[in-house]
Amino acid sequence: MLGGNPDGYAGDGDNKASIRALQRGRDGEMNRIYKRSLFARLLVWMLVMTTIPFILSNVISYRSNYRTLQEHSIELNQNTMTIGMDNMKKYLQELNLLSVSWYADPDFARYVWKNMTRFERNMYIQRKLNETYSRRPEIKMVNFYDRGTGQHFQLDNLMGNDRWQTVLPPANEKEWDSVANYETKQLGNERFLAFHKKLIDYPNSTVIGLLSIYVSLDELERLNRQLFDSASETMFLFVDRNNQMLYSSASELKQLDSMDTIATDPSKSKGYSFGKLNGKSGVYVYIRDQYLGVPLTSLKFISAAAINKVARNTLNQTIAIQAAAVACVILFALLLSYSITVPIKRLVHNVSRVGIGMFDGVKFNAREDEIGILEQRFESMVHNLKEMIIKDYQQKLEVSTARLKMLQAQINPHFLYNTLQSISTLALRYRAEEINDRISELGFILRYSMDMKTEIVPLGKEVEHIEHYLSLQENRFKNKLSYRISCESEAENVTVPKMILQPLVENSIIHGIENGIGAGFIHVDIALNSGLTIRIVDNGKGLEDGTIELLKKRYAIHHVQDWEGGGIGLMNVLQRLWIRYGDSFEWQISSVPYDKTEITLTIPLEEAIQNETIDCGR
């Protein structure tokens, strides 16, 4: 049986699932806060729109500053290294003068001309070696090969010859021409600069001997100490065409044996290349020169961290300023959000009150900005809505009262029709056929007008209705009124709102014919083309231009109140047609007083054809 606790293992899985569930819950909560809070969205977007430009500007600025600082550092170090190279050449000149000082000795001529005994000759050479050795403290050994006697003279600080045997030049005169004037020598852990100079009897050009001076690097280190920062830079000096390393400031680090591993351009006197030293990236800056035909190279390694340090300091200062700016943005977002969300919450609260019918107490603080305008408009809207509700209630109450009064005053339609039928029968009994016709027409008109349930009718019924109406009016006015109705048979099946023709014909009679001059004539013309066109033409008094313009303005704002004393008239018909057909309905009116007044209605056919689904839900 295997050991362990399966329940414990299951518990670990449950814990992980619980942690994931908590994480999803936190993510969901943050998402809900973001969606529901205007402040959260405003803060997030302001931070995004602020930090992204900051980050981009920091990256661009950092790279630009790094390149600029790098170029500036390279140029500055090359100038400094040029000064160091001049100092090195002066130092080599001083070493060279040590050999020239032999020529200035008065006894040198005797030595050259061999006017000395062997003992005197040896003593002279020892004296000159002592003088040369004591000239500079960094001189560690002086060696001289005497060509004339073949003797070898050496003077060092340890008074021993064996230590220097491995670094001495060849004693054979034939090999002296291959010896470089300046070269580096390694003796144990110590590196020396070796200076070799052949002493020549001028003008005979006879070689007298070979003088070698070995100096330590103390003076070179002193000359170069001010040219580099030991914390971030490393200095190297190379001599000879083989670029032998003479000096390195990084004694504890891995030394560069040569410049072969560094990418340099031999044709340029100065330049730079990128590389690594002891695992650190940086840039190698170098300058080249020569002294007495001996190539000299000064090389400095500058770590990338040193160049980055200044750029990072600048970046840190910029980030500090930008962090303060972000803090200001957050504070500004808080203030802006407060100034926006508080009025919005107040507006939502008032909307809720209005939604439950509490119109009183909707007040806002006086503000002149956009939110203040919104609050003022909402307050005005609530006030208007309250008035409209009250007015609508009053209108409904008035309509109910009017209907009650109408019912109270209304005669039973069957009683009215039966009474008219009895009068018509009586008229026929007394052979009064015209009276019978008029009573029949009046019965048709009353029956059509008192049918309150039907709102949409075929156009043929409207035409039949105005025929009865005009017949009664013609009988009333006798010879003063005549009429003609023209209607295409196809148009009779088109459905239209009820009672749209009688108000127009009635207007022509009341405002045109009654106030006209001479006999009046009314022509009703109905045609079916791309739409239903209804024309009512009369020769009555007509309308003035100002009245026509007022009609058009009132129609444009769909205002009917207080027009024509509140009766059913032209504006009522126009508004009813506009409500049903919208802007597809068009109308025109023109008037030449006492000649021709014409009203044209154009109803879109696709909205008014028969069998259309009409009056749905009414």
DSSP codes of every residue in 164-176: GGGGSPPS-GGGG
309-365 pLDDT, tens digit each: 777 777 788 788 878 877 887 787 777 777 777 777 777 878 887 777 777 766 666
Give, for 518, the enclosing helix (H) or strand (E). Answer: none
Please check whether residues 404 and 522 belong to one and the same domain. no
Task: Kindly state whether residue 459 falls inside one of the protein's structural domains.
Answer: no
Please check whether residues 87 and 156 belong to one and the same domain. yes
Answer with the residue of higher pLDDT: 466 or 257: 466
Among candidate residues 206, 5, 41, the one with its CA nearest the CA of residue 113:
206
Contact between 287 and 269 under an 8 Å Cβ cutoff? The reply is yes
Boundary-marking domain end, from 326, 342, 358 = 358
Task: Kindly state whether residue 434 falls inside one of the protein's structural domains.
Answer: no
**Burial of 476 (C-beta count, 10 Å sphere; 0-12/13-18/19+):** exposed
Please check whether residues 294 and 370 belong to one and the same domain. no
Q: What is the pLDDT of residue 366?
A: 67
Task: Kindly state whether residue 588 falls inside one of the protein's structural domains.
Answer: yes
Boundary-marking domain end, from 342, 358, 374 = 358
Q: What is the pLDDT of residue 21?
A: 61
Indicate if the pLDDT at residue 367 is higher than 60: yes
Please check whether residues 395 and 326 belong to one and the same domain. no
Please check whether residues 386 and 329 belong to one and the same domain. no
Q: What is the pLDDT of residue 12?
A: 58
Q: What is the pLDDT of residue 597?
A: 92
Please check whether residues 225 and 186 belong to one and the same domain. yes
Please check whether residues 354 and 366 belong to one and the same domain. no
Q: CA 501 to CA 445: how far, in whole Å?
A: 13
* Strands 206-215 and 233-239, sheet pairing: unpaired
Out of 152-166, 278-292, 415-429, least confident range: 415-429
Please check whether residues 391 and 261 belong to one and the same domain. no
Please check whether residues 337 and 364 belong to one and the same domain. no
Answer with the residue of higher pLDDT: 531 or 163: 531
Query: Residue 530: which region, alpha, beta or left (left: phi > 0; alpha: psi -120 to 50)?
Result: alpha
Answer with the residue of higher pLDDT: 232 or 89: 89
DSSP codes of every residue in 235-294: EEEEETTTTEEEEES-TTSPPP--STTS---TT-SEEEEEEEETTEEEEEEEEEEEETTE
pTM of the model: 0.45
Answer with the residue of higher pLDDT: 502 or 385: 502
Please check whether residues 558 and 580 belong to one and the same domain. yes
Task: Kindly state whether residue 307 falls inside one of the protein's structural domains.
Answer: yes
Task: Kindly state whether residue 270 falls inside one of the protein's structural domains.
Answer: yes
* Strands 481-487 and 520-528, sheet pairing: parallel
Rounded to an integer, the average pLDDT of 537-541 is: 90
141-191 pLDDT, tens digit each: 899 998 878 888 888 876 555 778 888 888 888 888 888 888 888 887 788
Please check whether residues 105 and 141 belong to one and the same domain. yes
442-480 pLDDT, tens digit each: 877 777 777 777 888 999 999 999 998 888 888 888 778
Q: Averaging pLDDT over each range in 116-120, 154-158, 309-313, 541-545, which range is the top one?
A: 541-545
As a whole number of Å, the CA-based R_g of the chain is 60
Indicate if the pLDDT at residue 566 is higher than 50: no
Residue 576: CATH number of its domain: 3.30.565.10
Please check whether residues 526 and 600 belong to one and the same domain. yes
Task: Kindly state whether residue 200 falls inside one of the protein's structural domains.
Answer: yes
End-to-end CA separation in angstroms for the chain? 84
- Give the range of the structural domain holding residue 560, as residue numbers without chain letter: 478-608
Answer with the residue of higher pLDDT: 482 or 364: 482
The mean pLDDT of the chain is 77
